[in-house]
Amino acid sequence: MPNSDPQTRQRPGPWPPAPSSDTKPMPPSSWAKKTGFKPKFSGDANASDSGHITSQPKPKPKEPDSNVDLEAGQARAPAQPNGVAKVPPLPPSKDQVVKKRRDSDGVPKSSVPSTNGQATAAAPEPPPPPRRTARHEEVVDALPQSVDNDEFVSRHSHMKYELRDSPGLVPIGVYGVQHYVSILGSLILIPLVIVPAMGGTHEDTSAVVSTVLFVSGVTTLLHTSFGSRLPLIQGPSFVYLAPALAIINSPEFQGLNGNKFKHIMKELQGAIIIGSAFQTFLGYTGLMSLLVRLINPVVVSPTIAAVGLSFYGYGFPIVGTCLEIGAVQILVVIVFSLYLRKISVFGHRIFLIYAVPLGLAITWAVAFLLTEAGAYNYKGCDISIPPSNMVSEHCRKHVSRMKHCRVDTSHALKSSQWFRFPYPLQWGTPVFHWKMALVMCVVSLISSVDSVGSYHASSLLVASRPPTPGVLSRGIGLEGLSSVLAGLWGTGTGCTTLTENVHTIAVTKMGSRRAVQLGACLLIVLSLVGKVGGFIASIPEVMVAGLLCFMWAMLTALGLSNLRYSEAGSSRNIIIIGLSLFFSLSIPAYFQQYGISPSSNLSVPSYFQPYIVASHGPFRSKYGGLNYFLNTVFSLHMVIAFLVAVILDNTVPGSEQERGVYVWSEPEVARREPAVASDYELPLRVGRIFRWVKWVGL
């Protein structure tokens, strides 16, 4: 066909107007030409000794398959010196392509990871797929999913519902509930960690969980309507967990006894409100659209990965307190998400989609049966008696197993109310200290970096084009407002885009904005039922730790998956990523171990000792607040990873293709294309009021 010829496809079509005045969508080839993109058939770079990318030999127009091996995903070796003529192989059939992608369950070998969301300018297969198809296939197949049938070929991006799809109330409701259930672990696990660390009771944990669900539903509605408008769930991000634990374990809170939970919560609220106001300022002033030029996959990848790796000291030490329950929890989730991921029931991959809630339910049932069977009953021992008051050595020996393995030690479900409405300032008036607020300002910047990667990846799955820098700034600004609401309501953390959204969208194949909005409404209703929060608060601690091991490992992998947009084989990128990850672990370890002896701070559990660095860090000037800020910030793994990566990526020479520079939609192009305008324009004609604010819109 003439359209399969790469040279012919670059010529003007039957419409002669110049591209600048063309009202039709900009073809991928011209967009790729504008960004200087050079298509390749593999994410492995042809790097020279200096780390720069060498250009690929241009294939002959009439023999596009002669220099490209679609199965290997890279250029074939040159002809042998014996002079034997090479016969170009026949292109694979449609059934072979579908079968290959179905079996691989990974990146399709004919995809172009370095395109960063753009279609290739010269595809070797005739005829080339539509621009949007190539862009979506690359991202979706890079995530844990595969194709069930020939729908891969007929349905571009093999998404069941895309951004503006609205198939009906029942399908939207079903998929909305599915979307939230699949991401349940990210919504509920953080309160189960920080509330006990603050000295809160089971009733306090239940109230915080209900508040988190309520704020998550409200902020998700706001973000999908007036933020980036992408189907991204807002919730308590793991980015805020480490700084929250650092504030909780501050020296001034160690001696508190009465009302310790409310006092620390008010301190957290004040720090979150100030930090979120800074994030709002970054977004709505347009500064984020300038900072985003420094944020690329080589920066996003180690930053997010460091968030997951930073909690290695918390996960398995808690699991080890009851190994037969915690290890089973981890193994069940691994079996569901990996070994049984291709099993489909009524067209749904229930084991892959619901790995976390199914694993929790099964492990909880096993623990309940063991408890009822008397496996953790010891003669003459009572779990309600403090260990210090136990006379019997036999009871003191088994008190840890009784505390962590039994599932009937929590009374959160019984003591929780049937109806409870979360309201602002429910814990009291927030307390503001500038040293803690500055820590949260830095954390809000890291959270914005996390969201930039989520915006780009999710837009490639469900939208017609990536958002413009103005839409990105608008989304970051609204995330700041969402975290301000979280601070006022008292969730203990900020409320931002959850990184796990991208994986959930790819696995569930559901990208409908209306489905996420309906699910948010259901989440608000559930938050008003106090027994729901009480039920979640009664999850045993060892099971929470087992789920967190899986969630943090998934977060690390999702962070590293951003490298698919760059040249992953480039020596430049390899060295930058390696340095960022190593120093993100080594430098915080120096701060955390400085001036501390193995026998000190026995009142703090070993898994919380990395977060008491403010009391013994290397910065010891006469300004106590400055010492607190510097010691705390440099003990956060994600901050070190971000600083190392952003400095090296923006100073070490490298091409845009090698770096995988994010390509955002141009505002002029977005305004010309009705599909892009429908994806990102604000509803109810709100956008017309702020049409003059160019940096927060189309």
Q: Quick one: average pLDDT of 372-383?
A: 75
The number of beta carbons lying within 10 Å of the beta carbon of residue 525 is: 12
Say how far apart CA 427 and CA 580 lie, in whole Å. 39
The DSSP-derived string for 208-232 is HHHHHHHHHHHHHHHHHHHSS-SS-
Q: How far is CA 350 from the centre of its chain?
A: 21
Backbone φ and ψ of 665, nearest 5°: -70, 140
pLDDT higher at 399 or 625: 625
C-beta separation of 271 from 443 below 8 A: no
Q: Quick one: average pLDDT of 626-631?
A: 92
Say how far apart CA 69 and CA 67 lie, in whole Å. 7
pLDDT band at residue 614 under the 50/70/90 scheme: confident
Does position 147 have pLDDT exceeding 80, yes or no? Answer: no
What's the token pair of residue 38? Answer: 């050079």
> What size, in residues, is the chain?
698
Range scoring the smallest mean pLDDT among 112-116, 180-184, 219-223: 112-116
Say how far apart CA 114 and CA 56 lie, in whole Å. 14
Range scoring the smallest mean pLDDT among 129-138, 234-243, 524-533: 129-138
- Alpha-helix runs per DSSP H in 490-529: 500-508, 513-527
C-beta separation of 209 from 538 below 8 A: no
**Is the pTM of the predicted complex or chain greater than 0.85?**
no
What's the token pair of residue 500? Answer: 């796990």
Range scoring the smallest mean pLDDT among 108-112, 237-241, 381-385, 418-422: 108-112
pLDDT 10s digits, 332-375: 999 999 999 888 887 778 888 888 889 999 999 988 888 888 77
The contacts of residue 423 (CB under 8 Å, 6+ apart) are 489
What's the token pair of residue 521? Answer: 């409404």
Q: Quick one: average pLDDT of 290-305?
A: 93
Does position 161 have pLDDT exceeding 60, yes or no? Answer: yes
Q: How far is CA 412 from CA 490, 533, 540, in A?
A: 19, 8, 11
Q: What is the DSSP letter of 391?
A: -
Q: Please classify residue 393 by burial: count the beta carbons closer than 10 Å to its beta carbon, then call 0-12 exposed, 13-18 middle and 19+ buried.
A: exposed
Give percent of the chain above pLDDT 70.
Answer: 73
Mean pLDDT of the chain: 78
pLDDT 10s digits, 231-278: 999 999 999 999 999 999 888 887 777 788 899 999 999 999 999 999
pLDDT 10s digits, 309-321: 998 888 888 888 8
The number of beta carbons lying within 10 Å of the beta carbon of residue 671 is: 15
The contacts of residue 342 (CB under 8 Å, 6+ apart) are 105, 146, 349, 352
C-beta separation of 542 from 319 below 8 A: yes
Does position 443 have pLDDT exceeding 70, yes or no? Answer: yes
pLDDT higher at 152 or 65: 65
Residue 135: the pLDDT is 38
